[in-house]
Amino acid sequence: MKILAIETSCDETAVAILECSGNEKAAKFQILGDALLSQVEKHRPYGGVYPSLAKREHLKNLPHILDEALAQAGISVKEVDAIAVTAGPGLEPALWVGIEFAKKLAVEYDKPLVAVNHMEGHVLAALAQKKTDDRLQITDVQMPILALLISGGHTELVLMKKWLTYELVGQTLDDAVGEAFDKVGRMLGLPYPGGPEISRLAEQVRTSDVLTSNVGHRMSDIKLPRPMIDSNTCDFSFAGLKTAVLYLLKSLSKIPTNGMIYHTSPTEAQKKQIAHEFENAVADVLWKKTALALNQTGAKTLVIGGGVSANIHIRRTFRERIARDFPETGLRIPEFALTTDNAVMIALAGYYRALRDEFTSDIRANGNLALA
Ligand code: KG4
Ligand code: ZN
C-alpha cells in the first residue's frame, strides 16, 4: 500500500510517500519520497514558533513540497492508495493547512483519508529500525511497550499493552522538556531552538577541560535541582529547573567590587557549565522516572520519541543505564533523521491506522489531541 503523508503540526512542512506492507507485528516500509522544509530560520527572530507565520509558510510551501516528494518517488497522486495527515496535537492554524490540503487532494484523486496523531507517529518512528537508507521495519517488538515522549509540547510516559492502545503513566505537571531546553537556551542568549545549542555546549564541556579551567567560578557553584526526582510518581516538573537557571544567572552576574555590585553577562565558559549541568539534570530526572515506570509496568520494550530524543547525552544515558539496570528490556530510539518532526513518521502511523480501516473524510484539527 502506498501512503502519502502530510505533516504541518508545527514549523516543519513535510510530505513523504512510503510503500508499506505487512501487519502490525511485522511491517515493512520503503521510503519512496521524503521532502521537508524547516521554517526554523523564519521563526528564529521571534525566539519560538509564531503560529500565523507557520500557517502562511505551510500554505506557501506545501504544493512545492508535495511536488518534490512525488518527483523523488517518480509517481503521481493517482498511484497512491491513501493519504494520511496529522490531525493533532500541534498548532491548530498550522494543522488546518495540512488537513485542508489533504482533503482537497483526496477529493480530486478520490483517495481515502487517514487522520494521524502526531505523537503516535513519534512512537512508531522510534520502533522502526532502519535496514538500508530507504527501508524501515517494525518487527520483534515485545509487549508491553513503555514510550517516553519528549518534545517541544510533550513530556509523557505512555504504556501500550496492545497495539495502538495507550495508557498514561506519567506526564509533566508544567513545562515540556523541549520547552525547558528552548527557554533556558533563550536565557543563555542562544538561538532558537535551544535544545541542539545546549547540547552542543554541554558536549564541549564533556570533551574538554573547561570544568577544571579557571573560569572565575568553581564548578560546585553550578548546581541545579532535579525536580521531583524522589517523588514516588512518574510525573515530571521542569518549570522549577528553568527558574533555578534564571536565579543562577542572576547570582553569577553580580560581581561585588569595592562595596558596589556590578552586573555582567555570563561568560562563555559559564554558559557551557550551565548547559552541561542543565542537561545532566534533565537526563537524571527523565531516567529516574522512566526507571520507576519500567518497574511499575513491567514493560519489555522502552521507546524514546519526540524531538528531544535527538539529544546525544539523553540517548547515551538511556543506552548505558538500560544495559546496566534493565538488561532484559529492549530499547528503541529513532534514527536521527526521524527524531524531530517529519512526514515519514506520519506515514508509518497512517499505515497502522489504514490496516484497521480507520478511513474518514471528516478530519478536524485538534491542538490538544491526546494519546491516552
Ligand atoms: O518533536 P519536535 O520536533 O516538535 C514538537 O512536536 O514539539 O520537538 C522539538 C523540540 C524543541 O523543543 C527542540 O529544542 C528539541 O525538540 N530538540 C532538542 C534537540 N533537538 C531538538 N532538545 C535537546 N537536544 C537536542 N539535540
Ligand atoms: Zn513532534
CA distance 113 to 105: 9
Using a 6 Å cutoff on CB, does residue 196 contact ligand 1?
A: yes
> In what helix (H) or strand (E) does residue 30 lie, and over which residues does it extend?
strand 26-38
The answer to whether residue 361 is domain-embedded is no
> What is the grid cell recorded at 162?
496492545
At residue 307, the pLDDT reads 96
Using a 6 Å cutoff on CB, does residue 266 contact ligand 1?
A: no
Q: Which ligand is in closest contact with the Cα of 193?
A: 1
Here the CATH number for the domain that contains residue 228 is: 3.30.420.40
At residue 210, the pLDDT reads 54
Q: Supply the angle between the helices 118-127 and 344-355 in degrees, to the nearest 10.
A: 100
Ligand 1 centre and the CA of 253: distance in Å?
29
Could you state, in chain order, the average pLDDT of each consecutive group of 10 residues for the chain (372 residues)? 98 98 98 97 93 97 98 98 98 98 98 98 97 92 98 97 98 98 96 97 87 52 92 96 95 76 82 97 98 98 98 98 98 96 98 98 97 94
Q: Which ligand is in closest contact with the Cα of 286?
A: 1
The answer to whether residue 249 is domain-embedded is yes
The answer to whether residue 46 is domain-embedded is yes
At residue 275, the pLDDT reads 98
User: Mutate which of 36, 308, 369 to test ligand 1's pocket (most atoms within 8 Å of Cβ)?
Assistant: 308
The values of phi and psi at residue 167, to 5°, are: -125, 135
Structural contact between residues 90 and 363, judged by C-beta atoms closer than 8 angstroms:
no
The answer to whether residue 233 is domain-embedded is yes
Distance of CA 314 to the CA centre of its chain: 12
Looking at the structure, tell me whether residues 35 and 181 fall in a common domain: no
Looking at the structure, tell me whether residues 326 and 343 fall in a common domain: no
Using a 6 Å cutoff on CB, does residue 311 contact ligand 1?
A: yes
Ligand 1 centre and the CA of 186: distance in Å?
14
> In what helix (H) or strand (E) does residue 82 lie, and over which residues does it extend?
strand 82-88
At residue 132, the pLDDT reads 85
Please tell me what DSSP assigns to residue 162: E
User: Mutate which of 11, 340, 371 to test ligand 1's pocket (most atoms within 8 Å of Cβ)?
Assistant: 340
The answer to whether residue 362 is domain-embedded is no
Spatial neighbors of 53 by CB under 8 A, at least 6 apart, are 39, 42, 43, 46
Looking at the structure, tell me whether residues 176 and 196 fall in a common domain: yes
At residue 264, the pLDDT reads 78
The answer to whether residue 94 is domain-embedded is yes
CA distance 169 to 97: 32
User: Mutate which of 38, 119, 151 to test ligand 1's pocket (most atoms within 8 Å of Cβ)?
Assistant: 151
Q: Which residue type does 221 have? A: D
Spatial neighbors of 247 by CB under 8 A, at least 6 apart, are none
Looking at the structure, tell me whether residues 150 and 203 fall in a common domain: yes
Atom 2 (ligand 1): residue with closest C-alpha? 307
Looking at the structure, tell me whether residues 340 and 328 fall in a common domain: no
At residue 209, the pLDDT reads 61
Looking at the structure, tell me whether residues 303 and 165 fall in a common domain: yes
Looking at the structure, tell me whether residues 298 and 342 fall in a common domain: no
What is the domain count for the chain?
A: 2
Closest CA to 312 of 223, 196, 207: 196
Looking at the structure, tell me whether residues 156 and 73 fall in a common domain: no
At residue 265, the pLDDT reads 83
Ligand 2 centre and the CA of 49: distance in Å?
13
Using a 6 Å cutoff on CB, does residue 170 contact ligand 1?
A: no
Return the HEC string of 54-77: HHHHHHHHHHHHHHHHHHHHCCCH
CA distance 306 to 4: 21
Structural domain boundaries enclosing 219: 145-332
User: Mutate which of 154, 181, 200 to test ligand 1's pocket (most atoms within 8 Å of Cβ)?
Assistant: 181
pTM as predicted:
0.94
Cis peptide, bond prior to residue 89, ω within 30 of zero: yes
Ligand 1 centre and the CA of 178: distance in Å?
5
The answer to whether residue 365 is domain-embedded is no
At residue 218, the pLDDT reads 52
Looking at the structure, tell me whether residues 287 and 239 fall in a common domain: yes
Using a 6 Å cutoff on CB, does residue 306 contact ligand 1?
A: yes
Looking at the structure, tell me whether residues 322 and 293 fall in a common domain: yes
Closest CA to 244 of 228, 225, 263, 269: 225
Please tell me what DSSP assigns to residue 351: H
Looking at the structure, tell me whether residues 215 and 350 fall in a common domain: no
- Closest atom of ligand 1 to 153 CA is 7
- Closest atom of ligand 1 to 176 CA is 12
Looking at the structure, tell me whether residues 196 and 324 fall in a common domain: yes
The answer to whether residue 139 is domain-embedded is no
